[in-house]
Amino acid sequence: MSVVYWILILNLWILKATSLQAGSRTVLRDIGSNNGGGAGTDPKDYAVELNITNFDEVLKDTPATYAIVEFFAHWCPACRNYKPHYEKVARLFNGPEAVHPGIILMTRVDCALKINTKLCDKFSVGHYPMLFWAPPTKFVSAGWEPNQAKSEIRLIDDGRTAERLLNWINKQIGSSYGLDDEKFENEHLPSNISDPGQIARAIYDVEEATTTAFDIILVHKMIKSETRASLIKYLQLLVAHHPSRRCRKGSAEVLVNFDDLCPPDMWSSDRHEVATNNVKEVLSNFQICGKEVPRGYWMFCRGSKNYTRGFSCGLWVLMHSLSVRIEDGESQFAFTAICDFIHNFFICEECRQHFYEMCSRVTSPFSKARDFALWLWSAHNEVNERLIKEEASLETADPKFPKIIWPPKQLCPSCYHPRGSKDKGSSQIEWDQDEVFKFLISYYGNTLVSLYKEKGFLAEDGTKATLDDLVASTNAVVVPLGAALAIALASCAFGALACYWRSQQKNRKYYHQLHSLKNI
């Protein structure tokens, strides 16, 4: 008996030693990173790893003005030695901690991987590492030849160290970036007031805010039996009216699969916590605003401090953009959808309660889209008035972007009646609400999507995506569309979408009941 026992112990010891040896590099890397990183540990990766499957998509969709692509081989000693230099520069431009976001996307392609052979051949990679520079879209479906007469893709010929690479970049764009630049405190932020065209950049922030909100919902396990219907309403609104086509598509994919992934009865009996965890797991596989798109830029909504603006600004822009895209018949639905969403899924308690209180003051249903857009505008100004006082007393305001009553006269002089309007508080200003509504439509509607018109995210005639367009952009079509399209011709786009969505649910006969604000 003792012999058998010792044989089992010996076998277990051999198996453990073998597994440790096979995974020793990972174990050591984890230990090193936990200790803050030391000699021999990998530096943090800021450059975006690309391959042939996502190369075009990432470079097409990035908001960055320029891109650098490094072609390397993981077995190449020179490439390994160069990586820390490249990452020192990449940390300035890439990721949520970027010092200068939205300017340069720095990427890497490993030519030692067989999947990338054709891609590296297209760019005539003859030695490692090789660095190329161009506007991101110029890399899409493109290549490079050494003797090419005219090409917007340029070989970087002086980037052997981090200092030399950054100097090369500074010469190209007339900048003066330094390797020791710290986050934010940016003296060159554009003014939102002086240039109304800046709102066009907010399309990326609206995508960022949509993604962040969805991530928060999943991380905090906020989808429960009592909040499930609120999320469905909000997704319906995004599918029909989100200003970003890829967010409409991603929201549609979540919505079409929602009843299968999160059936109403999954929270029954005593399995509530298990059901909540399962929802997080199944929905985390969906990218609500597209895949492989680097995030963390905050273009229009970037503050001058690292704790200001960002997500809250992006969420407000999203709500305003939704309010100017709906039809009259959708105004009450949009109102309840947004109020429910903030009440159930916005985790700033004071903000959530204030917004809910403003929603609860509304006693009559909205019948016009104009009325809802103006209510949201008025609510935003009420929030700003509260924050202006709080930030002044606590000295927490962003010095470059203090809260103001919106819109200021610089952007919309016609919004103010000329006869002696006071400047203190939205309620004391004599507004011309017809002009305010025109401004909201232009600013959060037409101007907000102007950047995407250039990139082909709208229909060729510049109109919003119709139900046909939405159906074509999602992979969830599993039944004939004739009935849904007929409804689309006879009713508003959102009503048609709702019918289309219900037809995809495999006859579950799930009907959402709109409820009053008292039941939020």
Which has more pLDDT, 71 or 423?
71
Top mean pLDDT of 45-59, 217-231, 300-314 is at 45-59
Residue 456 has pLDDT above 60, yes or no: no
pLDDT more than 90, % of the chain: 41
Banded pLDDT at 363 (limits 50, 70, 90): very high
- Across 98-102, 107-111, 445-449, which has the greatest mean pLDDT? 107-111
Tell me what the mean pLDDT of segment 61-86 comes to. 92
* Mean of per-residue pLDDT scores for the chain: 76
Q: Which helix (H) or strand (E) holds 360?
A: helix 349-360
Q: Is the pLDDT of residue 359 over 80?
A: yes
Buried b / exposed e across 113-123, counting CB within 10 Å, b at 16+? eeebeebbebb
Q: What span, in angstroms and rounded, lies between the C-alpha atoms of 313 and 302?
A: 9
Which tens digit of pLDDT belongs to each residue from 147-175? Answer: 877 888 999 988 999 999 999 999 999 88
pLDDT digits (tens, 9 = 90+) for 307-335: 788 889 999 999 999 999 999 999 999 99
pLDDT of residue 268: 64
| Lowest-confidence segment of 223-227, 262-266, 410-414, 456-460 by average pLDDT | 456-460
Mean of the pLDDT values across residues 165-187?
82
pLDDT at 184 over 60: no
Judge whether residue 480 has pLDDT over 50.
no
The pLDDT assigned to 193 comes to 58
pLDDT band at residue 26, thresholds of 50, 70 and 90?
A: very low
pLDDT of residue 194: 57
On the question of pLDDT at 348 being above 70, the answer is: yes
Residue 418 banded pLDDT, cuts 50, 70, 90: confident
Which residue is it, tokens 């979408």? Answer: 497
426: pLDDT confidence band, cut at 50, 70 and 90? low
Catalytic residue among 79, 247, 339, 412: 79
* pLDDT(3) > 80: no
Q: For residue 502, what pLDDT is reported?
A: 45
User: Among 128-137, 230-239, 361-370, 464-473, which stretch is predicted with the lowest mean pLDDT?
Assistant: 464-473
SS3 for 437?
helix
Burial (CB count within 10 angstroms: exposed 0-12, middle 13-18, buried 19+), residue 247: buried
Active-site entry in 76, 351, 492, 499 = 76
- Pairwise CA distance, residues 313 & 102, whole Å: 17
User: Highest mean pLDDT: which of 89-98, 182-191, 461-470?
Assistant: 89-98
- pLDDT for position 119: 95
Per-residue pLDDT at 30: 28
CATH of 44-173, one of 3.40.1160.10, 3.40.30.10, 3.40.50.150, 3.30.2350.10: 3.40.30.10
pLDDT band, very low/low/confident/very high, at 122 (cuts 50, 70, 90): very high
According to the model, what pLDDT value does residue 117 have?
94
Which pLDDT does position 200 carry in this prediction?
78
pLDDT higher at 303 or 254: 254
481-505 per-position pLDDT tens digit: 332 333 233 333 444 444 444 444 4
Q: What are the domain boundaries of the chain?
A: 44-173, 198-415
> Could you tell me which CATH number the domain at 198-415 has?
1.20.120.310
**Cβ within 8 Å of residue 436, ≥6 positions away:** 374, 377, 407, 412, 415
Residue 169: closest CA among 96, 45, 68, 60? 68
Residue 106's DSSP bridge partners are: 68
What pLDDT was estimated at residue 463? 43
Establish whether 120 is a catalytic residue: no
CA triple 15-17-22, angle to 5 deg: 95
Residue 445 in this model has a pLDDT that exceeds 60: yes
CB 314 within 8 A of CB 205: yes
Among 88-102, 154-168, 343-357, which is the least confidently predicted range?
88-102
Question: pLDDT exceeding 70 applies to what percent of the chain?
Answer: 69
pLDDT of 420 reads 52
> How far is Cα 69 from Cα 443, in angstroms, rounded to an integer?
35
The reported pLDDT for the residue numbered 274 is 57
Answer yes or no: pTM beyond 0.75. Answer: no
The pLDDT of residue 192? 55
79 is catalytic: yes
pLDDT at 491: 34
Buried b (16+ CB within 10 A) or exposed e, 177-197: beeeeeebeeeeeeebeeebe
Higher pLDDT, residue 274 or 444: 444
325 close to 331: Cβ distance less than 8 angstroms:
no
Question: What Cα–Cα distance (Å) separates residue 141 from each residue in 129, 337, 399?
Answer: 21, 41, 43
Q: Which of 130, 125, 64 is nearest to 93 (CA)?
A: 64
Greatest mean pLDDT range, 158-162, 184-188, 370-374: 370-374
Contact 286, 255 (CB under 8 A): no
Contact (CB, 8 A) for 470 and 235:
no
Cβ neighbours for 260, distance < 8 A, ≥ 6 positions apart: 505, 506
Q: Specify the pLDDT at position 392.
A: 84
Q: Give residue-wise pLDDT tens across range 271-310.
A: 555 556 666 677 777 888 876 555 667 778 888 776 788 8
In the predicted structure, residue 460 carries a pLDDT above the cut 80:
no
Residue 75 pLDDT grade (very low, low, confident, very high; cuts 50, 70, 90): very high
Residue type, position 61, single letter = D
